[in-house]
Structure 1
Amino acid sequence: MSDKYQYNNPIVLERADPWAYKHTDGYYYFTGSVPGYQEIELRRAKTLNDLENAEKVTVWQAHSEGEMSRLIWAPELHFIEGNWYIYFAAASSNQPKEHENQHRMYALECKDANPLTGTWEEKGQVKTHINSFSLDATTFEHNGTLYYVWAQKDPAIPGNSNLYISEMENPWTLKGHATLLSIPEYDWEVIGYLVNEGAAVIKRNGKIFITYSASATDENYAMGLLWADENSDLLDGYSWSKAKDPVFSSSEENSLYGPGHNSFTVSEDGEHDVLIYHARPEKNKEGNPLNNPNRHANAQIFTWTEEGFPDFGIPGSPS
């Protein structure tokens, strides 16, 4: 691999759930969970290596109380039909302490060209089929339809969160039914917590691929893969297949632990697909791993197999 694709990992320090998007203006726009979980921050740069030292702008601050006031998690920045949108999850100060992680999903909109300097408007909660713990929303367009993919707890299903997909009426409103895509079922998905979350979508080789992350957010965190034919009914659960084994997991050799909650972008010349993911430099020693800010954003070129599937390789090792 050429030296120009040797990214200076970590590309951004202490930003879990990293989201990088290369816009038509040539900038990479980046966001992620900010330690303290009380704000949404954006930055941009012409190269992925320049993001760490790029200007940081807080575009939204958590409310002082009530909904959207606590634990602001995993923002994503999307450009849809000429406007910018940020999707994020937040908890409420009105919830009892023992239910502090009862997040719901929300959307912000910016109609200005530059999302770092533009005005952001709250579009409210993105309501789903169940009023329950939900987070990690992402969107994608396919054949003229806007889709929403997210993680949510269904009280009728054992575990902490499953993955769902729905059509969107507009960028902050779902319509139609929600389709269950995946539940934590394999051994590697149920370590510490029974979790499927952090979905990201990439379309290649006649297929729609969805990566996701599973298990607790310590060194057991790992990435899985779903896929469907691009001509299938994406709202039909039977259209989707699921890999039985993780496609990206901890590397002892490279001291990158718990890789996951990824996003996809392309290299500076647009010729290579790039995986953006967070990982820890060591195993979590004690306490709640969510309180440890040492999840850093990394970038890694990946390739595709002869069968047309992504080959992410090993964290920290060129594909």
Structure 2
Amino acid sequence: MRAIAAVLMMIALVVAAPATPASAAPGANFQNPIVGTPNSADPWLGYHNGSYYYTATTWTGRIYIRKSATLAGLRTAPETTVFTMSQPNAVSNMWAPSMHLLNGRWYLYYSAGPSACCGGQRQHVLESAGSDPMGPYTYKGALVLMPNNGWSIDGSVLTVNGINYFVYSAFNNNSGFENGGLQSLYITRLTNPWTPAGIGTLISEPTYAWERVGNPVNEGPYPLQRNGRTFLTYSASYCGTPDYKIGSLELTGSNPLARSSWTKMASPLFQRNDTNGVYGPAHHSFFKSPDGTEDWIVYHANDAASQGCGTTRTSRAQRIAWNPDGTPSLGVPVSNATVQAGPSGELGNPGAVTVQRLQSYNLPDRYVRHSNYAVRVDPAVTPALDAQFRIVPGLADSGAVSFESVNFPGHYLRHNNYVLRLEPNTGTTTYRQDATFRQVAGLADSSWQSFQSYNFPDRYIRHSNYVLRIDPVSTTTERADATFRRVS
């Protein structure tokens, strides 16, 4: 079939209007992991003044930060030591660093303890001298968060209505690391970035079965806010199992310190995907793209179900989406083989990437959507994100377009034996060509659009029995089947 592609490329399109490229260029392509072992579990990643900053668990007495102009560049960026611990009972086992810019300075929160792991873990905080995330840093102190200065880990800062709160994980009833119990989520107000107003109050325990695999655990809380709504995402189940995953609470009441103000989502947001070879995807943070239009997650995961809670875990990143009801959609953890486009606005690339649906011309109640990776036109698409695509410059020709799934990052519409599928980007020349289409004036109505195959230019995207294909188009019916409108 591909042997005739070169000949078909010579066929001229007489009636085509000029192609309309997408409005922005994504960042540099990358593949997971963004940072490999050994210092790559429990990652925090942020973007500030033109650079990405990354830090993660080291298991030692040192804290490192990486800096890069691109997300892809973090993999080879040097580790810079920003702090070496020497405080009493806090000289090793550094876990879960989390950085926050408060009042013009960076505060780096981390868990640490003595050389014997892990019953001595407590929260500590560093302060930067200025607004540079690389420091230098000074030690501000330990945060006393539980009765009798009990065990506490995984802290981060949540800001609601201008008030800073500290959210973290500890054992209910202050039962301690050695005594088991329910590892739960707590919150307290901060009087300043290094001083809690008091002992924390319980806001979430591991109650669902999916939160209790291996051990009953809620840990790694991290805020996610959008359009006035506050979500507190967290890691659930034991990190030594492949079923470590991400859940979420939403602040539905007025007092963040009250457990009654938080509503837990009944299902996890993000979990293992055996098909993609991703196990235990959790302990995460979120960051914005450089142009501020996209939300991204960074998390750790294992490559095998048998790997556990140690240094096998690597840091991965992918774009997230939002459901029409305003709740977050973290999607499916992508395979390490999938080529992803970097965040929008990297290295000064202009504008936001367009997210739209494709409406059928002759079946106007139907939209292009993916369903179990098949591509169809359907009405009343559920979930709605299955019908939304990032329309980006063509993978094989920047003057054309490609269609990336909103909720399956790195997956594009591509033809395979003339049938359209949603498939992960393998980065090959064949894939890029199969996933590239020239936008032309609608074959049935010039105010709409049609999409000509890049490598089979006698064929256009059209629906046939509701299934999307690329076919030659000659009849009135075929022209209508091959005409679509890009709508928000």
TM beyond 0.5 = yes
1:146 corresponds to which residue?
164
Determine the C-alpha separation between the residues in 2 that align with 1:195 and 1:102. 18
| Pairing of 1:72-83 with structure 2 (within 5 A) | 72-83=94-105
Task: Identify which of 45, 50, 56 aligns with 1:32.
Answer: 56
Report the counterpart of residue 43 of structure 2 in structure 1.
18
Matching residue's letter, 2:243:
N
Distance 1:145 1:73, change over 3 A: same
Q: Which residue of 1 aligns with 2:389?
A: none
Q: Distance in 1 between matches of 2:264 and 2:173?
A: 23
Question: How many Å separate the matches in 2 of 1:45 and 1:242?
Answer: 36
Whether the 8 Å CA contact 2:169–2:186 is kept in 1: the answer is yes
Structure 1 residues 6 and 237: CA distance shift in structure 2, 3 A: farther
Secondary structure class of the residue paired with 2:75: coil
Displacement of 1:255 in angstroms is: 0.5
* CA–CA distance in structure 2, aligned partners of residues 279 and 199 of structure 1: 17
- State yes or no: 1:258 paired with 2:280: yes
Letter in 2 for 1:49: A
Partner of 2:341: none
What do residues 129-167 of structure 1 show as CA deviations (whole Å, max 9, x unaligned)? Answer: 322211000002222211110001133677242101111
Which residue of structure 1 aligns with residue 69 of structure 2? 46
8 Å CA contact 1:132, 1:154 repeated in 2:
no
CA contact (8 A) 2:150 2:174 kept: no
Aligned to 1:109: 127
**Secondary structure in 1 matching 2:172:** coil
- Superposed, which structure 2 residues align to 1:138-217 within 5 Å? 138-155=156-173, 159-176=181-198, 178-217=200-239
**Which has the larger displacement, 72-81 or 53-62?**
53-62
Change in Cα spacing, 1:303 to 1:173, as seen in structure 2 (3 Å) is same
Partner deviation per Cα, 1:178-221 (whole Å, 9 max, x = no partner): 22110111111111122110111011132110110011113120
1:309 maps to which of 327, 347, 352: 327
Amino acid aligned to 2:74: L
Partners in 2 of 1:309 and 1:100 — Cα distance?
35
Distance in 1, Cα, partners of 2:301 & 2:101: 26
1:231-242 paired onto structure 2 within 5 Å: 232-242=254-264
Contact 1:5 1:267 in 2 (8 A): no
State the one-letter code of the partner of 1:16: A
Identity, % of aligned positions:
35
- Contact (CA 8 Å) 1:159, 1:195: kept in 2 or not? no
Look up the SS of the partner of 1:106 in the other structure: strand
2:112 corresponds in structure 1 to 90
Question: Are the structure 2 counterparts of residues 310 and 8 from structure 1 closer, same or farther at C-alpha, using a change threshold of 3 Å?
Answer: same
Specify the code of the residue in structure 1 equivalent to 2:77. Answer: A
Distance 1:55 1:126 in 2: 30
Give the TM-score taking structure 1 as reference length. Answer: 0.89
Alpha-carbon distance in 2 for matches of 1:92, 1:268: 38
Secondary structure in structure 1 of the residue aligned to 2:309: helix
Q: Is the 8 A contact 2:44 2:55 kept in 1?
A: yes
Where 1:11 maps in the other structure, the secondary structure is coil
5+ residue gaps, structure 2: 1-21, 335-407, 412-488
CA distance in 1, matches of 2:197, 2:85: 27
SS at match of 2:64: strand
Asked if 1:225 is matched to 2:248, the reply is yes
Match of 2:386 in 1: none
What residue number does 1:100 align with?
Answer: 118
Alpha-carbon contact 1:18-1:278 (below 8 Å) kept: yes
2:285 matches 1:267: no
Q: What is aligned with 2:19?
A: none
Aligned to 1:135: 153
The count of residues paired between Structure 1 and Structure 2 equals: 306
8 Å CA contact 1:7, 1:299 repeated in 2: no
Superposition deviation, residue 86 in structure 1: 0.7
SS at match of 2:200: strand
Distance 1:78 1:3 in 2: 26
Q: Which runs of 5+ in 1 are unaligned?
A: none
8 Å CA contact 2:146–2:152 kept in 1: the answer is no
Alpha carbon RMSD of aligned pairs, Å?
2.1
Query: Contact between 2:244 and 2:271, CA under 8 Å: does it hold in 1?
Result: yes
The 3 A distance-change label for structure 1 pair 113 and 222 is same
* TM-score where L is the length of structure 2: 0.59
- Whichever of the two has the greater Rg, that structure is 2
Residue of structure 1 equivalent to 2:435: none
Shift of 1:266: 1.4
CA drift of 1:177 comes to 5.5
Mapped to 2, the partners of 1:313 and 1:133 lie a distance apart of 33
Give 1:277 shift: 0.7
